[in-house]
Structure 1
């Protein structure tokens, strides 16, 4: 069975974006540095389709994922930059209860139960499933996440969009337990931390 992997950049204090939920690339998270090349080599599929030719990745096959999931907020960051589908090289699903359509017919819009759709995807053949953002969708899919691949940047944001969504009164209580599989520090100060769910 395929796994749902939350691969995302986060601050030391656990935020994936600022309070405005704007694109954190280049502001909160520096894409340049000693971490860039090894992360790109390990996860070539995370590089957006329109950038892949510039990096010599046009024909590079995915290593981990053949499917990518985004919430409305993450998807709209690309739209604001004129990109209707940042991941044409992957099967792309966008989850939203407020959107009525998407601008690219290759994208599947999911406005039904997200967890049920994830369980269907997991039962299919293929590589693992990449949850790329955002924090709100990760909070909704918390029970379905099998692995965390955290690109931890040496910055403190203080406030913003949490790694697992904005807590509400009806947030599920209790603890999820993960075991650290590996920790890879880079000279830039960024670390790749990989965790497996234990329960």
Structure 2
């Protein structure tokens, strides 16, 4: 069965973006992007690089982990504001929104249905794993469906911002097993956790 994987960059204090929700890696962003971090993405997770980064880095590899990416409306709109109508044309790109029903790129699929029911259906289909891109609201609504957490923890704290999971998520303690880890010389730690079931 396919797994839902929340693959996301996080600060040491658990934030995925600043309070304004803007792209932390953008032109005025605060996120560190050292060379070894970029190289790790290119080598291990090339499918998670947005189209403009893939072009700039001459990345053509399809990737081995994901064939579908899930995003919330606000996350999708970050790309739109930068003039990118589909940041992941090499993946099945699904955007969850109650207000947006379509967009400028026909390849992007807008979903108004319940995220949990949609993900449960996707898990039953053939294919690679499903990448939960974010943001925190969508991750909060899919909290119980996440099978694997892959956190790219930057050596950075910001004090306040968009948390890994929406503050409206239900209190629901879960246990995870550390199944892989990579520490980059620049200070980022890539931590892979698998949910303990049963």
TM range (shorter): over 0.9
- Residue 11 of structure 1 corresponds to 11
Q: Which runs of 4+ in 1 moved over 6 A?
A: none
> How much has 1:104 moved relative to structure 2?
1.1
- Residue 194 of structure 2 corresponds to 196
Unaligned runs of 5+ in 1: none
Any residues of structure 2 matched to 1:172-187 within 5 Å, and which? 172-187=170-185
Any residues of structure 2 matched to 1:71-110 within 5 Å, and which? 71-110=72-111
> How much has 1:12 moved relative to structure 2?
0.3
TM-score by length of 1: 0.94
Distance (Å, rounded) in 1 between the aligned partners of 2:146 and 2:34 = 28
**Cα displacement string for residues 11-41 of structure 1 (whole angstroms, at most 9, x for unaligned residues):** 0000000000000115232223322212321
**Cα displacement string for residues 21-71 of structure 1 (whole angstroms, at most 9, x for unaligned residues):** 00011523222332221232100001112331321213x122100000110
SS of residue matched to 2:36: coil
> What's the RMSD between the two structures over aligned residues?
1.2
CA contact (8 A) 1:28 1:155 kept: no
> How much has 1:117 moved relative to structure 2?
0.3
SS of residue matched to 2:35: coil
> How much has 1:83 moved relative to structure 2?
0.3
**Match status 1:161 vs 2:159:** no
SS of residue matched to 1:35: helix
SS of residue matched to 1:51: helix
**Cα displacement string for residues 100-128 of structure 1 (whole angstroms, at most 9, x for unaligned residues):** 32221111101110000001111000100
Distance (Å, rounded) in 2 between the aligned partners of 1:22 and 1:126 = 31
Unaligned runs of 5+ in 2: none
CA contact (8 A) 2:41 2:49 kept: no
Give the length in aligned residue pairs: 195
